[in-house]
Structure 1
Amino acid sequence: MTADVSPVRTPYPLYGEEFMRDPYAVYERMRAECGPLAPIEVAPGVTGWLVLDYRAALDLLHDTRSWTKDSRVWQETVPEDHPVLGMLRWRPNLLFSDGETHARYRKVITDSVARIEPHRLRAMTQEIADLLIDTFIDEGRVELVGQYCRPIPLYVINRLFGLEDDRAPNLIQALAGLMEGTGPEATAQFERYMGELLMAKMAQRGDDITSWYLDHPHELTPEEVLHHLVLTVGAGQEPTTNLISNALSRLLADDSYRASWTDGIHTPREAVEQVLRFETPIANYAFHFPLRDINFHGVDLPAHTLVMVSMAAAGADPKGPGAAETRGGSRAHLSWSAGPHACPAQQPATLISTTAIEHLVSRLPDLRAEVPRSQLEWRPGAFHRSLVALPARFTPPGGLT
């Protein structure tokens, strides 16, 4: 399909009230007006293109000859202090690399992730879930995003990386700022925290991912280890938080669906798959840059133009696989990306999410939403689909609230 897009078409902003309220309506308007690619403004003053179609997304994600993940040429066009660079500034890690360098980095990650024993991870998640639930179980109400969905992956990751539980909350604000593009201070705070972890582990190893990175046969430099810590914590925390909270928000909005969980008819894994397919936690990312001037699905793109894949729009593509929303239907989606840069930690992220949901529903079987789902507020940002809050009620051990 050839996109009828003029180079001077006004870009669609991926920010503001309209996009935050209903991004899927914006994606559909883009698709109707532009075809597979649409011009976008990721943040004020930063433009690029968004891939909307499932097939076009796969074409890009599997084509390593035409595209690069190295953002250094592009970022010279962006002011040094622009908040969007928190997500797009080049770093020496697998996300921003190609070819042999990417393969070397990825091997370190995959080998280290493979050392995480599933039963250990599940038990750890259950223990942390219990600790968190115990802090609010007597209240009969909870704000699930702040009190449960966000802390769980953070505490799990911190333990896997060799951090103590009492240090975990310090990362929440920095990670949220990084995703929302609030400024370079969020990035600096995050990297400073991880730098302190690296120094501690360089002095004394442990049975943790940080030490495994340091001791891997591919011999990453301390700087490379630092940037892979930054990547792994950031990539593991925010998407997993959103995966848990988005799934719970859908669950609590549907009484019959919630009852089917408690009766064992449906499983947490099915709810997680529904979110991955229809409300992906990371909506727009998978950034790439053409290595040379190219024509991609009918659009002329100059070399080193920012092009992002919309995992959300691709999942909603009416021509894509499993377009109709049905429970237990097609698992075809791009939430984990695809090709050589597909997420290397899909299984741990899924295990943490399903365990967190399962344990919460098991301990609070009458958990119910306080606010209709249509009235929930979403956090601003081009990259994620993330709830501000998810208030809920339940019967505490002492009786009715």
Structure 2
Amino acid sequence: MLRDQAPIMPVEIAPGVYGYLAVTYRAVVYLLRNNPHRFAKDPKHWDALNHGQIPPDNPARAMMQPRDNALWKDGPEHARLRSAITESLARVDTHALAASVTQIADQLIDAFASAGQADLVTQYADPLPMQTVMDMFGCSHELSHRAISAVSRLFNAGEDAARANAELESACLELTDLKRRRPGRDVTTYLIAAGLNNAEMVQTILLLIGAAAPPTSSLIANAKRRILTNALLANNVHSGISSVAAAIDDVLWDNPPIHNYCPLYAQGHQIVEGVSLVPGWPILVSFAAANGDPSVLSMPGDRAGNRGHLAFSAGVHGCPAPTLARLIAETALERLLDRLPTIELSVTEQELTNRPGTFLAGLTALPVRFDPEAHPHHHGR
């Protein structure tokens, strides 16, 4: 294992893109807690990018290039942009959000319930968070469809990542223009009210969609997989001994939705855990490896309520709204349990495959079957 070799080591992030990867809990926490004084987020410190060595179509570039949003800023600029995000998200009505997730979940389940089979990734886990987030931003159906397609391709970090990025930026600008003309009770309007300009709006909306939807999709699918393949957990959840929240805690520990991300750059020569880090190279943190570090006391079965994992990152760039992400995932899973009590995998667990790519972890498909006569019918609102 990488952790046995060194706490931080040189890696090839994508073809021709080199940097470091931090894989121990201590090293990752040190990096995240020492931003921005020792380690900066701004990609202007990335030597290879500055020297034109990262082609525009490189799959890692779209996920690591400079953007006018809080994720890639340091100091006062980061504080200003993050404040706009936290204040806007704080205005989201969580009761209305839970009701919205329930309604979307019911619509998705209704579409396949009579078939007795489904792919819970493409037919449920992927579309549900995206539709929820689009509703939060006051997005039209047509614009939502374009944004959903683009953000999924962007996170897959495939050959069309650059095109997906351009399409997503275009959709975010259209949404911004729409809400400047017709404001509403939505996150886009709240961000505009916070004083962000168009460039900042586009990149902030892109950031929030990307941070909220694909990772939550993976969390829903991975947690449902855990329930379907762990008989004890399934029995405890169905009987009420364990909560859906406990299953989510377990997944956030040992299979976080974002395995590797959060590039940082050494501010001058730095030594971490005995490893010398040269300035100019991106340092990725491996949330998955850090959470699995044996030095961390997080044994399976003892993780319910334990939020010491790094699935939502840490430090000044930690996730600004983990409660909203958990609410979406928990509501989605609880609705599946209520509506489809006889659900089971229609393939062996060994046949399940994970998405390719460096950053986002998740299943490509989760095929299930169930008794179509056993699902409680949903009565529209």
Per the shorter chain, which TM-score range? over 0.9
Pairing 1:2-401 to 2, within 5 Å after superposition: 29-33=1-5, 35-63=6-34, 64-74=36-46, 75-76=49-50, 77-165=53-141, 167-182=143-158, 183-216=161-194, 219-322=195-298, 324-329=299-304, 330-397=306-373
Q: 1:231 aligns to what SS in structure 2?
A: helix
Alignment match, 2:378: none
**CA offset digits 1:19-40 (Å, max 9, x no partner):** xxxxxxxxxx11112x211211
Give the superposition deviation at 1:171. Answer: 2.8
Structure 1 residues 136 and 388: CA distance shift in structure 2, 3 A = same
* Inter-partner Cα distance in structure 1 for 2:363 and 2:263: 23
TM-score by length of 1: 0.89
**CA offset digits 1:370-394 (Å, max 9, x no partner):** 1222220111011121110000011
Residue ranges of structure 2 left out of the alignment (5+ in a row): 376-381
TM-score by length of 2: 0.93
Give the superposition deviation at 1:215. Answer: 0.7
**CA offset digits 1:351-385 (Å, max 9, x no partner):** 00000000111110111111222220111011121
Across the aligned residues of Structure 1 and Structure 2, the Cα RMSD in angstroms comes to 1.4
Amino acid across the alignment from 1:198: T
Q: 1:392 aligns to what SS in structure 2?
A: strand
Structure 1 residues 45 and 280: CA distance shift in structure 2, 3 A = same
Q: 1:169 aligns to what SS in structure 2?
A: helix
Give the superposition deviation at 1:59. Answer: 0.8
Same amino acid, percent of matched pairs? 36
Amino acid across the alignment from 1:317: D
**1:138 touches 1:398 (CA, 8 Å); kept in 2?**
no
Amino acid across the alignment from 2:219: L
Give the superposition deviation at 1:298. Answer: 1.7
Give the superposition deviation at 1:328. Answer: 3.9
* Inter-partner Cα distance in structure 1 for 2:318 and 2:184: 28
* Inter-partner Cα distance in structure 2 for 1:214 and 1:45: 38
**1:378 touches 1:388 (CA, 8 Å); kept in 2?**
yes
Residue ranges of structure 1 left out of the alignment (5+ in a row): 1-28
Q: 1:125 aligns to what SS in structure 2?
A: helix
* Inter-partner Cα distance in structure 2 for 1:113 and 1:314: 28
* Inter-partner Cα distance in structure 1 for 2:39 and 2:307: 27
Amino acid across the alignment from 2:198: P
* Inter-partner Cα distance in structure 1 for 2:56 and 2:105: 40
**2:341 touches 2:374 (CA, 8 Å); kept in 1?**
no
**CA offset digits 1:139-178 (Å, max 9, x no partner):** 0001000000011111111111001345433333312221
**1:246 touches 1:387 (CA, 8 Å); kept in 2?**
yes
Amino acid across the alignment from 2:301: T
Amino acid across the alignment from 2:182: Q
* Inter-partner Cα distance in structure 1 for 2:303 and 2:65: 38
Which stretch of structure 1 is more off in the superposition, 278-287 or 329-338? 329-338
Give the superposition deviation at 1:267. Answer: 1.1
Structure 1 residues 208 and 270: CA distance shift in structure 2, 3 A = same
* Inter-partner Cα distance in structure 2 for 1:168 and 1:205: 17
**1:321 touches 1:332 (CA, 8 Å); kept in 2?**
no
Equivalenced residues, count: 367
